[in-house]
Structure 1
Amino acid sequence: MPEGHSVRRLAIQFNDVFSGRRLAVSSPQGRFAAGAALLDGRTLEQAQAHGKQLFLGFEGGLWLHVHLGLYGAWEFGGDGTFRGASSIGAPRRIGERESRDDGGGDYSGPPVPVGAVRVRLVSDHGWADLRGASRCDAITEAEAAAARAKLGPDPLHRGLPGHEQDGPEFGRRLRSRRTAVGQLLMDQSVVAGIGNIYRAELLYRAGIDPLRPGTALTAAEAEALWVDAEDLLADGVRDGRIITTAPDSWAGENPRDDEAFHVYQKQGMSCLRCGTAIALKEMAGRKLYWCPGCQL
């Protein structure tokens, strides 16, 4: 499932490419036909990301609310003015790195829809297709606010007005529950945007046993987790991929896929810090990776 950095990059791309433009909205697949009819012909005013959820704000107080889930992805294209990723999402299909296309060449409009295109957005110079999302709704301003209110603090909101207390609020939510911290970090009502990779890597970097209950964490540990989450997710937005290891552990200038993480998908391999074999178990239906030697 795309984690928070990918959805933030989607919001940035929508703002860069489509904000302020009147869009033709359709549903080639047909499953979003009613919602498309509500949004068609309206100007996109802003794109916002909150954790793993994307909110596209249209004139008239309507929003397109999208949660990509496990298989969702946006595909983009356009004329020579189009710049950015040509596909973001669906890590199982395209990987954590994004596909890119710098536009150019002859452009006569979007291609004929192929496959189950849930939503198609078309401006005067580009297009975006949505496939496979677990959620796609046209909603009101009040409904958008209610959806955001259900989510925990987003580490990528650092520095935004009104989010000065996000760190302490994260610590309060984390430390008030006896649930295992490895499970709490995946709870989007506790913290928004952290998925399986960031969960594993944050806990490893902090030296925290994922099985410890949230109530057993100190305030200092919770604060350190929050600050590291802010930094790592911001790096992911910048890089377009998740990298949690230091450059001195890479063979080249950029990390290979097997060098980008400390513990994620490294089960059975030796921990770079202590030599213990990386462990794997299931927690709440998701695979959990950790080092039994370092994370005590």
Structure 2
Amino acid sequence: MPEGHTLFALARDLHEAFAGTTPEVTSPQGKFTEGAAELSGRELLRATSRGKHLLVEFADDRWLHVHLGLIGSFTVDSHEWTAEVPALGQVRLRLRTDQHVADLRGPNLCEVASPERVDAVLDGLGPDPLRPDADPDVAWARIHRSSRTVGELLMDQSVLAGVGNVYRSEVLFRHRLSPFTEGRRMRRASWRLVWDDLERLMPLGVATGRIVTVEDELLAVEAALGRGEVPHLTERSSYVYKRAGMPCLTCGSRVRTRVVAGRNLFWCGRCQRRH
């Protein structure tokens, strides 16, 4: 499932391509015909995201609300011709101007929403580390009262918006935290380490289009961006994510895995003992 940095970058790209325009909105697949007709020809005011939710505001209090789910994708392409661009695959929604085409495929949710519906969605989400208005204390208030494990809580979008399975596994390893610690037993200082690290990691995901968590790669990416260069990234590496049965890069112990909150959590039992 795309994590929050993917949606943040998608909202940025949609905003840059379509804000201030009146795109033609269609449903080549035919499953969103009525919703597309309601949006087509209205001015697109802005695109934003919160966690894994994409929200696109149109004139007259109309919003497009999208959740990509496990297999959804939303591509934004430029073109310099006015002829019809063929829809490849099952395109649920298409935004089109003379300069850009954006195609949505396979979303878990695609709806036209009212401002009240958008407010309800936002009210149900925890703080998003990518947003400047995010308050980590809101998440902490939910964590330190909970008997659920930290590994579960980090995947709960009502606690923390935008974090998925990769960031969960990697950030807990980076701070040697046991994913099976109950939230009420977690120290506030440990929570701030996690939050501050997510504020570092996730913007780099937006900038590179990749989840980067291994420290030497992080430093190289930060240095390249600081010089105004495009970072050179090879195949994604990780400390524990998808390394079940392989030796821990720090201690050599075997990386473990278990389904937690519906996804395969990865951790090192020797390194991650902190509560």
Q: Is TM (by shorter chain) over 0.5?
A: yes
Q: Which residue of 2 aligns with 1:179?
A: 148
Change (3 A) 1:248 1:26: closer
Whether the 8 Å contact between 2:55 and 2:64 is mirrored in structure 1 is yes
Q: 2-side partners of 1:6 and 1:246: how far apart?
A: 21
Query: How far is 1:248 from its partner?
Result: 6.5
Q: Which residue of 2 aligns with 1:59?
A: 59
Q: Which residue of 2 aligns with 1:49?
A: 49
Q: What's the RMSD between the two structures over aligned residues?
A: 1.9
Query: How far is 1:186 from its partner?
Result: 0.4
2:100 corresponds to 1:131:
no
Task: Write the deviation string for residues 228-282 of structure 1: whole angstroms up to 9, x where unpaired.
Answer: 111111111111100101226999x845325x21100011121121111111111
Whether the 8 Å contact between 2:75 and 2:103 is mirrored in structure 1 is yes
Q: Which residue of 2 aligns with 1:237?
A: 206
- Three-state SS of the structure 2 residue aligned to 1:47 is strand
**Quick one: which amino acid aligns to residue 190 of structure 1?**
V
**Quick one: which amino acid aligns to residue 175 of structure 1?**
H
Q: Which residue of 2 aligns with 1:142?
A: 116
Q: Which moved more, 1:147-156 or 1:108-117?
A: 108-117
Query: How far is 1:203 from its partner?
Result: 0.5
**Quick one: which amino acid aligns to residue 132 of structure 1?**
G
Task: Write the deviation string for residues 128-176 of structure 1: whole angstroms up to 9, x where unpaired.
Answer: 1100000000011111111111111100013x4xx4xx11111111111
Q: 2-side partners of 1:224 and 1:248: how far apart?
A: 19
Q: 2-side partners of 1:142 and 1:14: how far apart?
A: 23
Q: 1-side partners of 2:108 and 2:247: how far apart?
A: 36
Q: Which residue of 2 aligns with 1:202?
A: 171
Q: Which residue of 2 aligns with 1:224?
A: 193
Whether the 8 Å contact between 2:245 and 2:255 is mirrored in structure 1 is yes
Query: How far is 1:284 from its partner?
Result: 2.8
Percent identity at matched positions?
40
Unpaired stretches in structure 2, ≥5 consecutive residues: 221-230
Query: How far is 1:109 from its partner?
Result: 3.7
Q: Which moved more, 1:138-147 or 1:242-251?
A: 242-251
Q: Which residue of 2 aligns with 1:111?
A: 85
**Quick one: which amino acid aligns to residue 277 of structure 1?**
R
Equivalence map 1:8-23=2 (5 Å):
8-23=8-23
Query: How far is 1:76 from its partner?
Result: 2.5
Change (3 A) 1:125 1:108: same
Query: Quick one: which of 228, 234, 254 aligns to 1:277?
Result: 254
- Three-state SS of the structure 2 residue aligned to 1:119 is strand
Whether the 8 Å contact between 2:11 and 2:54 is mirrored in structure 1 is yes
- Three-state SS of the structure 1 residue aligned to 2:130 is helix
